[in-house]
Amino acid sequence: MKVNRREFLHRVGAGSIALASLPALMDVLKQPALAQTERGFTFVTVSAAGPQHLLAMGGSGKFDPSRGPGSPVSGGGTFFHFQPAASPPFPIVATGTWKARLLTSYRELATYGTAAAGIGEFVIDIQRLRPTPALIRGAVLQVFCTLGPAGVTAAQTGGEIEGIHLSMPGTEFSAGGNPGIFRQIPSPPPAGSFGLTVFQLG
């Protein structure tokens, strides 16, 4: 059954997922201090690949942009991939964990207190746990943080809203695949997206 995305997101409580993530984002400030050149990141988001695939994903990590592309990244998190349906419970496609591996690029746009707005791209590995175990290596995670209080807008991120993109090589959820990569879902103002992200300053 085809379900209107706006109606579905209201039912699934995508906005509630984002709001519930606020304590997790604040917890980043309780993490051990970073070195001056290091950056931390934390996110909780809901993204979509076409009209029939939704991905709730969250986690955190640490990296040093001064070391350049290919430098190691530590961190990880969890995800669940599910599909719209007429009523809950919604069909689960897959659940599991992810682990950060490498930094591809990082561009800092602004700072605000102990936080930063920016765009980070990371190589990660995805460990599917259900329905059957599988390892997807070399997935590409892009994290976009606009940090509204600092005055950064989507215009400075190439039109991308706060949230993530995820591409999984060797699957239909990759560039050129059908339905393609997972992209952040927009929401009505003032939130702008069903996602919260933050980069932490060292």
| Per-residue pLDDT reduced to its tens digit, 48-80 | 999 999 999 999 999 999 999 999 999 999 999
CA atoms within 13 A on the CB side of 35: 8
Residue 177: pLDDT band by 50, 70, 90 thresholds? very high
> Does position 28 have pLDDT exceeding 90, yes or no?
no
CA distance 52 to 62: 32
| Residue 132 or 189, more confident | 132
Q: Got the DSSP string for 153-165? A: -GGGGTTPPSEEE
CA distance 105 to 179: 25
The pLDDT assigned to 5 comes to 45
CA atoms within 13 A on the CB side of 131: 4
The pLDDT assigned to 9 comes to 47
What beta strand segments (E) does the chain contain? 39-48, 54-63, 74-82, 92-112, 115-130, 134-145, 163-167, 182-184, 195-201
- Gyration radius (Cα) of the chain, Å: 16
The pLDDT assigned to 99 comes to 98
| Residue 8 or 197, more confident | 197
Least confident range from 4-8, 57-61, 150-154, 159-163: namely 4-8
Residue 200: pLDDT band by 50, 70, 90 thresholds? very high
pTM of the model: 0.85
List all residues 6 or more positions away from 187 whose beta carbon is below 8 Å from its beta carbon: 9, 14, 15, 18, 193, 194
CA distance 74 to 128: 19
- What letter represents residue 100's amino acid? A
